[in-house]
Amino acid sequence: MNKTQAEQGKLIIRKGVLQELEEISVLFSETIDTICSDDYNSEQIAAWKSSSGDQQRWHRLIENQYFIIAILNGKIVGFASLDQGNYVDVMYVHRDFQRQGIAQQLYSTLENEAKRQKSTFITADVSKTAKPFYEANGFKVTTEQMQVRNEVEIPNYNMQKQL
């Protein structure tokens, strides 16, 4: 049985820092380009990726949220954040490291932090692409919604899980 790359190396989950923002931003954009292309059209993807240039938002994510990164063999292969103790604000895994358990490890770390902060539920606004992952982790859709970025509608789902 072949081991995944994540199993072969030691995956490290730790707090992310501002100095890693450039690598995080590239991972964000490339992942959306590649992984979400079956669920969203090119206009939606371009609008979604445009938030990579919002430096203030990224600084707030890293400095004010529980922001973690996954590192494998010295490379950032994923990142995630928890806001206000119960909202998964972002979670992305590098396009070359999909389906290797990295998202699960990031999510489990966020859920443990939510429980540590005594949250009774956890919520997220998730893409069509990410919806099956969240459903597999016990989330239920509370609302189908339309996010608007740069005047482009991007459908997603508000999902919630009781802890």
Q: How far apart are CA 86 and CA 116, in angstroms?
A: 11
- Which domains, ranges and CATH numbers included, belong to the chain? 5-118 (3.40.630.30)
The pLDDT assigned to 3 comes to: 45
pTM of the model: 0.93
Beta-bridge partner residues of 90: 81
The pLDDT assigned to 8 comes to: 57
Spell out, as residue ranges, where the chain has pLDDT lower than 70.
Answer: 1-8
> By the 8 A CB rule, do 51 and 63 touch?
no
Beta-bridge partner residues of 14: 69
Q: How far apart are CA 55 and CA 134, in angstroms?
A: 27
The pLDDT assigned to 51 comes to: 87
The pLDDT assigned to 143 comes to: 97
Q: How far apart are CA 15 and CA 61, in angstroms?
A: 11
Please provide the DSSP assignment of 77-116 as one string: EEEEEEETTTEEEEEEE-GGGTTSSHHHHHHHHHHHHHHH
- Other beta carbons less than 10 A from residue 88's beta carbon: 25
The pLDDT assigned to 53 comes to: 85
